[in-house]
Copies of this chain bind each other. A is one copy, B any other.
Amino acid sequence: MTAPIAERFSEIRRAFHRCPEPAWREFRTTGLLVEEIRSIGVDELAVGAEAYDPDDRMAVPDDDELDRWLDWARADGVDGELLDAMAGGTTGAVAVIERGDGPSVGLRVDIDGLFVEESTADDHAPAAEGFRSEHDGTMHACGHDAHMTVGLGVLEAIEKSDFPGTFTAFFQPAEEESGGGKPMAESRFAADLDYLLAVHVGLDHPTGEVVAGIRKPLAMSHLTVEFTGTSAHAGKEPNAGDNAVQALAAAIQNAYAVPRHEAGMTRVNVGRVEAGAASNVIAERAALAGEVRGETTALREYAKAELERTVRAAAEMHGCDADFRIVSESPRADSDEALVALVSDVAAGVDGVDSVVPWADFGASEDATFLMRRVQENGGEAAYLVVGTDHPGSHHTPRFDVDERSIPVGVDVLTETVLRIADERP
């Protein structure tokens, strides 16, 4: 019989750390999760297409890419039936403990890894202690390995408690691509939640510090544009081309010049471009990957509309077509004051917590906001909290690591919050 999760936090987290799988490729990760959830014993466990509508997913890679990762998972011994349930990249799982007459509380943790090559340095603990990524070029460089471990820890603790309501743990794929929050939020599991908790480790907060509530995550859209023109020999007949590189350059210059908005912060970025074939050919194809963000969802929509107009006019200016596509999006959603006050109060009493920060702003984006908004729109409350962890490198860099002492802290703060909700806000 397996030892309780609470005794295996480090072991579990390291198992996840070894197999970072990017968005919608979390086959082996889901396998590990399912194994642990089964060992806990829950009332309902839904995997993949049982957990959400696959059509609600965003930023899904193509089949070749998915198959490559599926094969790796299969070779690694993940159960075939389980893999079948994840066909087409329907990864992730939802676990439910249903006790009847109490509040319905959700906890969302994210499970995907990143395309970052992990450090091999001697002073990088995963390398030194043998749990570095086993898949070159990918890494759990944002702490989702710890998030999953915390999620399992809370699930086990609630299962063992006398919590009287419904507790639902969302193990959400594709957070880094803002691809998995929406299907989870649209699912039946999110329909009747009274409370939603989401958690992140680190974010420059040290071990022992807890931020009870996050404010102002930016609404965000990832997008791609493909310009299609006409190629021509650049020496012999430059006039015969419709130059996709010129369309691209006009689009970029004017994209960054989308006007600032009186109502608050906006962001526009063209982060990646690729165009053309050879120096002596007028390019017939140019592609960019970019994003827009806004301090509110409306501001993101403003920036998106301006950008789309800019891109379409740039294409037209140079006789090209533009295919403007939204890859994925997330709205803004803030934590609720009453719930944050409760978390704050709980955290102050948890062992290992030295400092409680009631509120912090968040300069980036998060698709937990889909779930938060779903709950808030139903009249419920949400809180996104941060469990501090000493991390040697920044998030998304090769030397990122988490201080495993923060895992039980996260489990305790969240478990205690769920129980206090049941006690005080039934």
Report A's interface with B, CB cutoff 8 A. 218, 220, 222-223, 233-241, 243, 245-246, 248-250, 252-254, 256-257, 259-263, 265-267, 269-283, 286, 289-291, 293, 302, 309-310, 313-314, 316-319, 327, 363-365
CB atoms of A254 and B254 under 8 A apart: no
CB atoms of A237 and B363 under 8 A apart: yes
* Chain B residues, CB < 8 A from A289: 276, 278-279
CB atoms of B269 and A272 under 8 A apart: no
CA distance A262 to B236 in the complex (A): 6
CB atoms of A269 and B279 under 8 A apart: yes
With both chains docked as a complex, state the minimum distance between the C-beta of A224 and any C-beta of chain B, in angstroms: 8
* Chain B residues, CB < 8 A from A245: 252, 270-271, 273
Can you list 16 A-B pairs, Cβ within 8 angstroms, ordered by A? A223-B279, A236-B363, A236-B364, A237-B262, A238-B261, A239-B263, A246-B252, A246-B257, A253-B254, A254-B317, A262-B363, A271-B277, A273-B274, A273-B283, A279-B327, A280-B291
With both chains docked as a complex, state the minimum distance between the C-beta of A361 and any C-beta of chain B, in angstroms: 10
Number of copies: 4
* Chain B residues, CB < 8 A from A317: 250, 254, 309-310, 313-314, 317
Chain A binding site: helix, strand, loop or mixed by DSSP?
A: mixed
* Chain B residues, CB < 8 A from A282: 259, 269, 271
Known A234-B267, A363-B235; contact A319-B314, beta-carbon cutoff 8 A: no
* Chain B residues, CB < 8 A from A218: 235
Q: Which residue of B lies closest to A299 (CB)?
A: B239
* Chain B residues, CB < 8 A from A313: 313-314, 316-317
CB atoms of B239 and A261 under 8 A apart: yes
Known: A272-B276, A274-B274. 20 other contacts (CB 8 A): A234-B269, A238-B259, A238-B260, A239-B263, A239-B302, A245-B252, A245-B273, A248-B252, A256-B257, A271-B280, A272-B275, A272-B278, A273-B274, A273-B275, A278-B289, A309-B317, A313-B313, A313-B316, A313-B317, A314-B317
With both chains docked as a complex, state the minimum distance between the C-beta of A268 and any C-beta of chain B, in angstroms: 8
CB atoms of A252 and B254 under 8 A apart: no
* Chain B residues, CB < 8 A from A257: 246, 253, 256-257
CB atoms of B223 and A239 under 8 A apart: no
CA distance A335 to B60 in the complex (A): 51
With both chains docked as a complex, state the minimum distance between the C-beta of A293 and any C-beta of chain B, in angstroms: 5
Q: Which residue of B lies closest to A362 (CB)?
A: B236
Q: Which residue of B lies closest to A250 (CB)?
A: B254
Most B Cβ at <10 Å: residue of A223, A271, A273: A271
CA distance A3 to B290 in the complex (A): 63
CB atoms of B280 and A269 under 8 A apart: yes
CB atoms of B262 and A260 under 8 A apart: no
Most B Cβ at <10 Å: residue of A218, A276, A282: A276
CB atoms of A260 and B270 under 8 A apart: no
With both chains docked as a complex, state the minimum distance between the C-beta of A367 and any C-beta of chain B, in angstroms: 13
